[in-house]
Amino acid sequence: MKKYIKNIIILIFLSINIFIFIPQIKRSLSKINRLDESINEIDSQIEGISEKILEFDERILDSKIEFYREKIGREKLQMVREGEKIYKEINEQE
């Protein structure tokens, strides 16, 4: 009889643990899947941006005119010369 009660207690304990932890594991797995999808999306964005950078690098190298190189560097790549200070005008409306 004692063995029977002990087995029932163990079975109840295991059942409770299963009902508590299985839903948490499912939620964790679905969260992992969503994060994997986000990572894949960000990787594709990085690849696209890398291709644009290579395209701009080629355009800069192909350009013979220094002015055009500087214009692309400043406008598209947001680059500045070493030691150069950037001032931004702020219009305050009163």
**CA dist 53 → 14, 26, 62, 71 (Å):** 57, 41, 14, 15
**Cα distance between residue 43 and residue 35, in whole Å:** 12
The model's pLDDT over 34-61, given as tens digits with 9 standing for 90+, comes to 999 999 999 999 999 999 888 887 777 7
Residue indicated by tokens 């350009």: 63
* Contacts (Cβ under 8 Å, ≥6 apart) of 59: 72
Structure tokens at 41: 């999306």
Residue 25, pLDDT above cutoff 70? yes
* Contacts (Cβ under 8 Å, ≥6 apart) of 69: 60, 63
The answer to whether the predicted template modeling score (pTM) of the entire model surpasses 0.75 is: no
Where is pLDDT greater, at 63 or 94? 63
